[in-house]
Chains A and B, each alone.
Chain A
Amino acid sequence: ELKVEQNPLFLSMQEGKNYTIYCNYSTTSDRLYWYRQDPGKSLESLFVLLSNGAVKQEGRLMASLDTKARLSTLHITAAVHDLSATYFCAVDITQGGSEKLVFGKGTKLTVNP
C-alpha cells in the first residue's frame, strides 16, 4: 500500500524565517503535486513536478522532486503571514490502469508576525 508521509504536520514559524516541508512516498512515481488549502476553502494547485530533479519556484515557495529518493520538498523563504495555510503533497500513481493522486496528511503552517 502506498504511503505518503509529510513532515512536519504542524509548523509554526516567524515571519522572515526559512523552512522546509518534506514529503516522502513509498512507491515509484515520477509526478508529484503540491496544493495549498485555506480554512474552509478548496485546494489550490501550487506545483506539478513531472520528473526527477524538477524544481519549480513561485514567489517565496520552491518545490523540488527526487524520484530516486522518493522525496519532495517545499521550501519557504522569508515567510510572511499570508503563507499561513495547510499544504498537501500528493503522489500520482497508476493502479489498475488508471491514474490517481494519493495525498499526504498535510502540513498546517502558521506564520506569526
Chain B
Amino acid sequence: SAVISQKPSRDICQRGTSLTIQCQVDSQVTMMFWYRQQPGQSLTLIATANQGSEATYESGFVIDKFPISRPNLTFSTLTVSNMSPEDSSIYLCSARDRTYYEQYFGPGTRLTVT
C-alpha cells in the first residue's frame, strides 16, 4: 500500500492570498488526484495531476484558480490562488496504484480563509 503525506496539515489564510499544498507518496504511482471535501460533505474531484503534462481539471475548476504541478511519480502540489472564504475546505491528495486498482488518500489539508 502507498502512504501519502501532505503539508501543511492545516492553515488559516487571508483573503486574496495563495497557498500551496504539497503531497508526497512513499512509492511511485501512476495516478495522483486532488479532491476537496467540505465539512460533513462528500468528496469532489478537482483535477487529475498528470506527470510531465498539464493537469486535467473537472468541470467547475480552472487552472488559474487551482494550478497543479506533478514533477515526478511521487510528488504533486496544489495551489489555491486568490483565496476567498468559499475556498475554506479540506483538500485531499490521492494516489492510485494501477496494478491493484487501490486508491489511497492523504490525511488532508484543512484550509480556513478569513
Chain A residues with CB under 8 Å of chain B are 31, 33, 35, 41-43, 45, 48, 50, 88, 90, 92, 96, 98-106
Contact = CB atoms under 8 A, between A and B. Distances in A.
Given A43-B92, A105-B42, A98 B102 contact: no
Nearest to A96: B56
B42 A50 contact: no
Interface string B8-49: 000000000000000000000001010000000111110010
Contacts of A90: 43
Contacts of A102: 45
29 contacts: A31-B101, A33-B103, A41-B107, A42-B92, A42-B105, A42-B108, A43-B43, A43-B105, A45-B103, A45-B104, A48-B100, A48-B101, A48-B102, A50-B101, A88-B42, A88-B43, A90-B43, A98-B56, A99-B31, A99-B96, A100-B33, A100-B45, A101-B45, A101-B94, A101-B103, A103-B43, A104-B42, A105-B41, A105-B42
A45 to B, nearest CB: 6
Contacts of A105: 41-42
A43 B35 CA distance: 12
Interface of B is mostly: strand
Contacts of B102: 45, 48
A37 to B, nearest CB: 9
Interface of A is mostly: strand
A106 B42 contact: yes
A84 B107 CA distance: 19
Interface in B75-114: 92, 94, 96, 100-108
Nearest to B100: A48
A104 B42 CA distance: 7
Nearest to B30: A99
- A-B pairs, top 8 by smallest CB distance, nearest first, are A43-B105, A103-B43, A103-B42, A42-B107, A105-B42, A42-B105, A42-B108, A106-B42
